[in-house]
Structure 1
């Protein structure tokens, strides 16, 4: 079937629909960290139809085409890639959207597609197994491994040499409310993995606070007595959710609110971290009270903080798909 100078089978042409869809979900995942499950349903249906189409064509082409051209790679695609995606999701290595994307790829690309562009046939390098979805997965993993190296180069070019230069970069505190990833800065000045920024937004919305208010009156809001009588819905931490409320119960205060004389006062539950986590449904992305407190202390004092961007895996998946279609299997080339 011709397509703007490209010669390919009908199923392989239809498989190219995945490219703009995966590009869109990758961009959306970077901006919002939210991808609707409805996106995958049409692609899963298309993949099922194309799988049956390819199987029927291979069956009619003879025993060799059926066995080695279709059955073996399709078995690897559905019997290896899908369980791997499920296991990574189960153990927290993947998000739900990542696992669904790999399931869709296993349906859409069980075998290697072929595109003749003039005298050139794409992809140029394929895996011996012939399972194209496995090629996309391994490509995505290799692209994901390259991301920390890119971060390190970026930080080194700016003269930022720290133990976390491979996993994050510094940003002004004003960018934190709309950023994604994890806060790496701690109140003792050391950098380490800690507060999930979605969990931070959940906490601020639960209290009806902005980060600017926390920075303006940290002594006040560190006191759990200022927790709201009727907390607001915490949402799921998405950047698009509305913040409502006045930041908690208004208490009669003395000069300690403005002169900082209570900075070192100890509370049973500083910042109301335990109260927040006990009140909400779920676990706020696994955040602990200490992680929440450390994050708030750092954000209340620092002008710039280190964050890990937490690049969504859908970005390497899209890049891995493009590389697989244009070039082929990076792992095969790496191992040779």
Structure 2
């Protein structure tokens, strides 16, 4: 917040530290879909400090500066944006990093900042709702809505017209192991939901298999008798899991030899018809739920990848990218929604 007639306050200048941090987090979200919680702690501390500082400045000024310019937008920021972030995380619409990022923004930008750059005063456009974090959120939503349109245009330009053209694109099977997102191809066509590719990597690492090895002998690996007696750590399914972990199976230097391909486990052999690919055995053995993946989803995804050359995948929604874009737009312009309507 900047009081009438004043230039940018120290709290507003401190808030600019969010720009490089959110830029890094957006790049990290695209590349790995993982952002450490430790990233948000320093920003939350800065946000809490600047919030108190702004409150002290406004309280000293009194009148509308204290009530309308500070208390009202701060109440909207903390009382509306924070619950929205928590609700969408709880419903599964946001990842944990997305929700934490919005919580940090609610602390960092409860009120509209003001910066003078030469003859310009930024942001150039205001809004009746003076909660700046809400402006960032609404900008991020508008940017996020543009992504499906861009995907559809890209697919249509390439002659790829399909029900899932708004949420994904086709890739060769070789690229699946290095890609984050969701497999949309199914044995019967395409679907808007499917196998989480992180869960696929967890399965392949658990078995000590590469996707190429699985494709070379699908009939063999459908049999649960080929499951390893001592499975590898499944990791969390990230593409970049560490220097000793391959993107799609086992550890560096290990391969299908780690599986007990010559095992004669009677129980597993009898279970072959009931548990193709050992999907249920995998989910029972690991800790957690593999991102909510079911045994049937895993089996269907493996059937597709075992034989199909090109599959449809959805890159998912790295929401920190629209959030960063929404932050930049908010600082330079203001509220896109209000600017569009007015």
Q: Is the 8 A contact 2:177 2:211 kept in 1?
A: yes
Q: Is the 8 A contact 2:226 2:263 kept in 1?
A: no
Q: Is the 8 A contact 1:15 1:109 kept in 2?
A: yes
Q: Is the 8 A contact 2:171 2:313 kept in 1?
A: yes
Distance 1:93 1:129, change over 3 A: same
The 2-side partners of 1:298 and 1:191 are apart by 13
1:252, CA displacement in angstroms?
Answer: 7.5
- CA displacement, residues 22-81 of structure 1 (integer Å, 9 cap, x when unaligned): 000000011011111111111111111111111111011122100011010001111111
SS at 2:143's partner residue?
A: helix
Matched, 1:249 2:260: yes
Give structure 2 stretches of 5+ with no counterpart. 1-6, 265-271
2:278 to 265, 272, 280: 272
The 2-side partners of 1:59 and 1:189 are apart by 62
Q: Is the 8 A contact 1:224 1:267 kept in 2?
A: no
- Structure-1-length-normalised TM-score: 0.92
The 2-side partners of 1:305 and 1:192 are apart by 13
Match of 2:314 in 1: 308
1:1-336 aligned at under 5 Å gives the runs 8-241=8-241, 242=245, 243-244=250-251, 245-247=254-256, 248-251=259-262, 267-336=273-342
1:335, CA displacement in angstroms?
Answer: 3.4
The 1-side partners of 2:29 and 2:298 are apart by 24
The 1-side partners of 2:134 and 2:125 are apart by 13
The 1-side partners of 2:317 and 2:171 are apart by 16
SS at 1:116's partner residue?
A: strand
Greater mean deviation of Cα atoms: 106-115 or 191-200: 191-200
The 2-side partners of 1:304 and 1:188 are apart by 14
Give structure 1 stretches of 5+ with no counterpart. 1-6, 254-265
- Structure-2-length-normalised TM-score: 0.90
SS at 2:190's partner residue?
A: coil
The 1-side partners of 2:306 and 2:217 are apart by 9
The 2-side partners of 1:97 and 1:334 are apart by 29
Q: Is the 8 A contact 2:227 2:261 kept in 1?
A: no
